[in-house]
């Protein structure tokens, strides 16, 4: 997901995502898209609000909305959702 500007995967110590690893991309100010690994090769996409960049993966988000419970990168509709949110910027 480096094409979309997502961070390298990092350990989620917040416990919010019930995931080992997460990756994120900044949308605007305190808004982010977060990929959370749900299984070895499964990911969900979540639209989140955090007070600052340093809180990601360490604290629960201030607000969150699960956009795609099981992301499939080959699905055009899933890629369009990512682009739509990133274009919000």
How far apart are alpha carbons 48 and 51 in whole angstroms?
10
Contact 35, 71 (CB under 8 A): yes
Distance set, CA 46 to CA 10, 16, 23, 83 (Å) = 16, 11, 10, 14
Specify the DSSP class assigned to residue 8: P
Contact 88, 27 (CB under 8 A): yes
Rg of the chain in Å (alpha carbons): 12
What's the sign of the alpha-carbon dihedral 67, 69, 73, 75? negative
pTM, entire model:
0.89
pLDDT in tens, the chain (89 residues): 667 789 999 999 999 998 789 999 999 999 999 999 988 888 999 999 999 999 999 999 999 999 999 999 899 999 999 999 988 76
Domain positions in the chain are 2-87
């Amino acid at each position: 997901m480096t094409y979309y500007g997502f961070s390298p995967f990092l350990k989620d110590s917040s416990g919010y995502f019930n995931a080992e690893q997460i990756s994120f991309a900044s949308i605007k100010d305190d808004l982010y898209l977060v990929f959370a690994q749900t299984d070895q090769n499964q990911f969900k996409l979540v639209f989140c609000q955090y007070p600052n960049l340093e809180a990601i993966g360490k604290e629960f988000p201030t607000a969150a909305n699960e956009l795609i419970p099981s992301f499939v990168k080959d699905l055009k509709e899933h890629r369009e959702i990512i682009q739509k949110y990133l274009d919000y910027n």
